[in-house]
Amino acid sequence: MVRFAPQPQIRLRGLPLCTVHFLRPNSYISAAPQNIRLLLALACALHFVLGANLGLSVDEAHYALYAAHPDWSYFDHPPLVGWAQWPLVKLDAPEWLLRLMPELLWLGTAVLIYRLAERLATVRNGEAGFWAVLTLALAPLLHVLGIGLLPDTLLMFLTVLVIVLTLNLMDADTVQQPWPWLALGLALGLAGLSKYTAILAVPGVAVCLLAAYGWRVLGNRWLWAALVVALLLVVPVAYWNYANHWISFRYQAKHGAGGGWQAVHVLRFLVVQLLVFGPLLLWGLTGLRQGATGGKRAMLLFFAVPFAVLAVLSGGGTSLPHWTAPAWVALAPFAGIGLARTWSLGRRWVIALIAVAQGLLCAAALGLMITGGYPLMTNASGQGNSTAPSNPFADLHGWDVAGARARVLAAQQGLKSVSVQNWTLASRLGWYARPLPVQVLEDRFDQFDLWAGDLPVGGDTLLVDWSQLGYTVPLGEHGFADCKLLDSQDVQRLGRVISSFRFYACHGWSGRPQPRLAGAS
């Protein structure tokens, strides 16, 4: 008969915690100092206010459409980001309610980071945990992930949960018990359902366990049970890809390879990373020496492996700034330890200066989002002569009104679909103009081809153009037989026009797309 040892009790400031408490954030918050609770409350209030006053971003709308089209997986990402929103989307919940999910994930991530920093700190007085959470609160890009639900929002939380569960299993009293292993398998499987880069956390888990127990850990049957649980959870992704000719895997491989590799791309990537996540997190490299010994230093791999891989990929021009968010979050507990140590030694002016600078950068970025770029961008309604919007903050405003207008005009004209000439314009219209299908008039295969297919030759549609990424009306050999302007709609913020939409009734599609940016020669 196999006997299991009692569940080990871990203590944080006198509060007994067991593995299940990692899913109960209140037990940590109640044990945290008052300043931690105030910091988390302020951050969550900020996210709620911004989330209630901003339209869905292009990525948010795309993943919300996942929930509107439930499936085993999708062209560009695994399905969890859609599955998680499906109940609320099915109930036609308002956007502010949809945005409570990323806010709760951000809060859960912060609570787990506090817990990890305190567990690893030499002195457990709450200071390391406070600084660790502050590094998250002062990282501008992490606030974006706390407002909008992206795969990275899920992976950020699940990565920290994987680290916590791995640290638990490095305790000799825990390693022979089944539930910590099964919880780890569950967390890894859910991470795999969130994003393909979740695989980059596996080396950290493996090296940590090998450092703690050596190769004999491979003889633990519960390790293999955890592996089976993780693999079973990602079966839907494999099945969907098999049924769709492995298109997602092939797309990701091509997307990851990018174009010609250039060192200057990597340098630009590193500079952007420093700006959007802030230098305070770099104290994690000093905190690692102070807060972890022996096998626990292998936890650096949860940061180093994904960051290094994505940095290398950036040389081909493919890494986006938010892809490294799970890696930076994994470094945050050590940053808290390093900052607490530096602060206690009296070297406070440097930390204070950087913290103020990061706070101002956060305020500026979030302020520009809610004002539509004011006061930096006061005359940028869009020229249509660039592949990037002239005012990127205009992207967050006006799509709800445009989607509603598109539905009305399509109904009046008897048109059965909405079309755009660039795939980045499709997500918001696909969400706000529901249930009208959105078709992308460019020679590029993507998720919208799976949902709506191509506009058939000779077909009619409501063509929508946006001034921040304006295209010429496609007519003739590479367009429609005729297009009639039905309406034009300005988007205003603080009394100024920041973009405009134009709606055309188009008939007789040629089936030979060749989109041209407005103003391009």
386, two tokens: 């660039």
Q: Which alpha helices (H) appear in 138-234, and where do they start and end?
A: 140-147, 151-169, 178-194, 202-213, 221-233
User: What's the domain count of the chain?
Assistant: 2
**Average pLDDT, integer, range 140-153:** 95
Close Cβ partners of 347 (under 8 Å, ≥ 6 residues apart)? none
**Whether 423 and 502 share a structural domain:** yes
Question: Is 378 within a domain?
Answer: no
CB atoms within 10 A of CB 38: 11
Looking at 367, 401, 419, the residue that finishes a domain is 367
Close Cβ partners of 155 (under 8 Å, ≥ 6 residues apart)? 191, 194, 195, 197, 198, 325, 326
**Average pLDDT, integer, range 377-396:** 69
**Whether 291 and 405 share a structural domain:** no
Whether pLDDT at 1 is above 70: no
Measured distance CA(281)–CA(139) in Å, rounded: 9
Confidence of residue 4 (pLDDT cuts 50, 70, 90): very low
**Average pLDDT, integer, range 241-259:** 83
Question: Is 514 within a domain?
Answer: no
Question: Is 425 within a domain?
Answer: yes
Give the lowest-confidence range in 12-21, 165-174, 327-336, 490-499: 12-21
Convert the pLDDT of each residue in 34-92 to its tens digit: 788 899 999 999 999 999 889 999 999 999 999 999 999 999 999 999 999 999 999 99
Place of tokens 């990323």: 102
Strand 461-466 versus strand 480-493 pairing type:
unpaired
How remote is the C-alpha of 465 from its chain's centroid? 27
**Whether 359 and 419 share a structural domain:** no
**Whether 361 and 432 share a structural domain:** no
The residue among 33 and 322 whose pLDDT is bigger is 322
Q: Which domain does 473 fall in, by range? A: 392-509
pTM for the full predicted model: 0.89
Residues 390 and 382: beta-carbon distance below 8 Å: yes
Looking at 367, 384, 410, the residue that finishes a domain is 367
How remote is the C-alpha of 469 from its chain's centroid? 24
**Whether 418 and 281 share a structural domain:** no
**Whether 209 and 290 share a structural domain:** yes
Question: Is 453 within a domain?
Answer: yes
13, two tokens: 């400031």
Convert the pLDDT of each residue in 309-345 to its tens digit: 999 998 887 778 999 999 999 999 999 999 998 888 8
Residues 505 and 483: beta-carbon distance below 8 Å: yes
Model pLDDT, residue 318:
73
Question: Is 19 within a domain?
Answer: no
- Write the burial class of residue 1 (CB in 10 Å: 0-12 exposed, 13-18 middle, 19+ buried): exposed
H-run or E-run covering 472: none
Measured distance CA(177)–CA(470) in Å, rounded: 60
Read off the DSSP letter of residue 489: E
> Helices 34-53 and 127-137, interaxial angle, to 10°?
10
H-run or E-run covering 344: helix 325-344
Question: Is 375 within a domain?
Answer: no
Question: Is 15 within a domain?
Answer: no
The residue among 28 and 133 whose pLDDT is bigger is 133
Measured distance CA(456)–CA(427) in Å, rounded: 20
**Whether 355 and 397 share a structural domain:** no
Q: Which alpha helices (H) appear in 278-318, and where do they start and end?
A: 284-291, 301-314
Report which residue type is found at 389: P
